Chains A and B, each alone.
Chain A
Amino acid sequence: MISVVGTVPDPEFPLTHGPVSLMDGQLSINGRNITVNRGTPALLASAAKASEILEVPDIYAFLVGDIGRGDGSRRLYAFLEQRLPEFDFDVLTFHYLQPDVDWHNKVLFAIDAMKPRPTLIADAGFMYAAKMSGQAGEYDFFTPDTGELAFLADETAPHPFYTRGFILHENNNAPDLIRRAYEHQNAAKYLLVKGATDYVADGNGIIETVGHPSFEAMEAIGGTGDTLTGLLTVLCGAGFKPTDAAVLAAKVNRLTGLYANPNPATQVMELINEMPRALSIITNTETVNHIRT
């Protein structure tokens, strides 16, 4: 089973956990509906759509309402610290949570008690805390965008907001930033970097790049990074090797752009709706080869 931990932008949304489904553009968990906009709901919607094509078990989510005050995130962290070892997941993805190093470390202890230890993916706020904790190497994947990659590459920055200018200037030099992130041990075993070109890398360097099809407007659309992390989660859960899962996820995410014909005003659900079609095509080897050329 694959699992996702994150937040919902509704202060009244209670801490809840269970299987998630997607119907008519709305997520449902334990009888509660969630609008898909961006953030963790977009990640879950992407994962649910992808699971329509790929044979994966249920998608299980741990969610809580949090609008940035951190109260919901802390309740969820406290719950996970106590209860996570009771669960059995193949993949566990952490997403939009208030970055808090102390709580991160407690949750990581709880993960260590899980048998077997799941594949660990960290994105968004939890990735910030994971980097700041100095324990990035405990994770299988970080999925930064290019701005967040600069933050990982800056060994002094506790948050992307403080990334130093001379490193931000290297924004278009992802290979150097990747090298620097690994040099300072601020990257997970694998990186899937989202940008004009997507990079899959590990401590030995860049493994593969995915640059086509390319749509400039995707940079402006909120949630396209979330959908990529959702795809990566499902593909890892479907049994793909980590680097294959990352490359496929990047290709599928880009192909949704081809079908949705996006402009900067496109909303992420329009892309998610194209995901089954993109996934079907990408899993056809002949088409994959065509797209690669």
Chain B
Amino acid sequence: MNRSETRRRGFADRGFLVFEQTGDVIQAETVLKKSGWAVRVMGPPPEIRTGCDLVVEFPLIEELNILRELDGAGVVPLSVVPVTAPLLAPVDLFHTRDFGEYLMVRAANMKITVSKADGKIVNISGGGCPDVPYLAGEMVGKTLAEAPSPRELGHTLCGYALQLAYEELLRK
């Protein structure tokens, strides 16, 4: 890849933050986005991949500021690594299914269904990580306004996928 290509794709000036747990990644993303940083949650490169992983991609030039912000929030990364190769991009395709009285949105392997009449979450399905049954237990039976968001309680990629489906549903 030549330099202009590198710049166009935006890899050379990016780094990623590695955390011990996916839950920490989700928390770090929340903190940084709230403060207006241009960060993205991405998949780590194969050499540090263990199974259910996410990293936070960020502008490398802002490393010190971002680390200070995370330190203040008590979410400290294990390491900071410059991006030298493309990171895996999370799924960005949503599938919406209209059942008449109910609306279902799917992101990756996660599906969330609400009643159109009152916005109540009636079902959550799909996924294979252990926070899915927990999230379903906390969210099903509540309205979208009442229910905690998956971002607050989720810890895994399935939880994160559910967050994306939940956000897409809020946009509907």
Contacts and interface: CB of A to CB of B under 8 A. Distances in A.
Interface string A17-56: 0000000000000000000011111000000000000000
Given A100-B52, A161-B160, A265-B102, A70 B108 contact: no
A148 B156 CA distance: 16
Interface size class on chain B is: 35 or more
B27 interface: no
A277 interface: no
Contacts of B88: 156-158, 162
B18 to A, nearest CB: 15
B122 A265 contact: yes
A215 to B, nearest CB: 11
User: Which residue of B21, B104, B126 has the most chain A CB atoms within 10 A of its CB atom?
Assistant: B126
B133 A96 contact: yes
Contact of A158 (B43, B124, B128, B158): B43
Interface stretch (A217-225, A233-241, A248-256, A281-289): A217-225
Contacts, number: 187
A145 B21 contact: no
B137 interface: yes
Given A98-B129, A124-B128, A265-B122, A67 B108 contact: no
B165 to A, nearest CB: 11
Given A145-B109, A219-B97, A161 B157 contact: yes
Interface in B44-62: 46, 49-53
Nearest to A71: B21
Given A219-B104, A264-B102, A264-B123, A158 B53 contact: yes
Contacts of A125: 52, 128-130, 158
A223 B126 CA distance: 8
Interface stretch (A85-93, A111-119, A126-134): A126-134
Contact of B21 (A40, A70, A123, A132): A70
A160 B161 contact: yes
Which 5 A-B residue pairings sit nearest by Cβ, starting from the closest? A68-B131, A124-B128, A68-B155, A39-B133, A265-B122
Interface of A: 7-9, 37-41, 66-70, 72-73, 96-102, 104, 123-129, 132, 145, 147-148, 151, 156-163, 165, 168-169, 171, 216-217, 219-225, 263-267
24 contacts: A9-B134, A9-B137, A38-B133, A39-B132, A40-B133, A67-B153, A67-B155, A68-B132, A69-B23, A69-B155, A70-B21, A97-B130, A100-B51, A104-B51, A125-B158, A161-B90, A162-B90, A165-B93, A171-B95, A220-B97, A220-B104, A220-B122, A222-B136, A266-B123
Interface of B: 21-23, 43, 46, 49-53, 88-93, 95, 97, 99, 101-102, 104, 106, 108-109, 111, 113, 115, 122-137, 140, 153-161
